[in-house]
C-alpha cells in the first residue's frame, strides 16, 4: 500500500462535513475529490518513505502557504505544479495543523467551478 490508512482516515473525518466527497486511488495514493474537483491527497514520499499530504490551494495564497512549516512545492512529475503543495509530517501531525491544511484546500475548492 502506497499510503497511510491512518492519515486517510484523519482526512476523511475532516471532509465528511459537507459537499460531495469521492475517494479515488491514483498517483500511487488516495485522492479526495470534493464536488468533483481534486482537493486533498495522501501518499508516501518515495525518497523519505514518510507520509505526505497533497493539498490544492490555488495560486493566490501559494507563496504565503509555501512558507508554512512542513510545506513544500509539489513536483510530482519533476515540474513544480503551482497551486498544489506537498505537506510533510511536521506540517500535519498535530490535529490543528491538519485542520489548517484541510480548511485551505476546502476554501479553494469552493472558489473553482
Q: Residue 44 above 90 pLDDT?
A: yes
For helices 5-15 and 95-111, what crossing angle results, to 10°? Answer: 60
Q: Tens of pLDDT along 60-79? A: 899 999 999 999 999 978 89
At 19 the pLDDT is 74
Full set of structural domains in the chain with CATH: 5-111 (3.90.1150.30)
Specify the 3-state DSSP secondary structure of 53: strand
At 5 the pLDDT is 96
Q: Tens of pLDDT along 82-100? A: 899 999 999 999 999 999 9
Q: Tens of pLDDT along 3-29? A: 999 999 999 999 987 679 999 999 789
At 1 the pLDDT is 58
Specify the 3-state DSSP secondary structure of 101: helix
Amino acid at each position: 500500500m502506497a499510503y497511510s490508512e491512518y492519515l486517510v482516515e484523519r482526512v476523511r473525518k475532516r471532509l465528511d462535513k459537507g459537499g460531495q466527497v469521492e475517494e479515488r486511488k491514483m498517483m500511487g495514493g488516495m485522492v479526495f475529490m470534493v464536488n468533483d474537483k481534486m482537493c486533498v491527497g495522501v501518499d508516501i514520499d518515495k525518497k523519505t518513505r514518510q507520509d505526505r499530504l497533497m493539498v490544492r490551494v490555488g495560486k493566490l495564497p501559494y507563496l504565503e502557504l509555501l512558507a508554512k512549516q512542513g510545506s513544500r512545492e509539489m513536483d510530482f512529475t519533476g515540474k513544480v505544479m503551482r497551486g498544489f503543495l506537498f505537506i510533510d509530517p511536521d506540517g500535519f501531525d498535530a490535529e490543528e495543523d491538519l485542520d489548517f491544511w484541510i480548511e485551505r484546500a476546502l476554501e479553494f475548492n469552493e472558489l473553482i467551478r
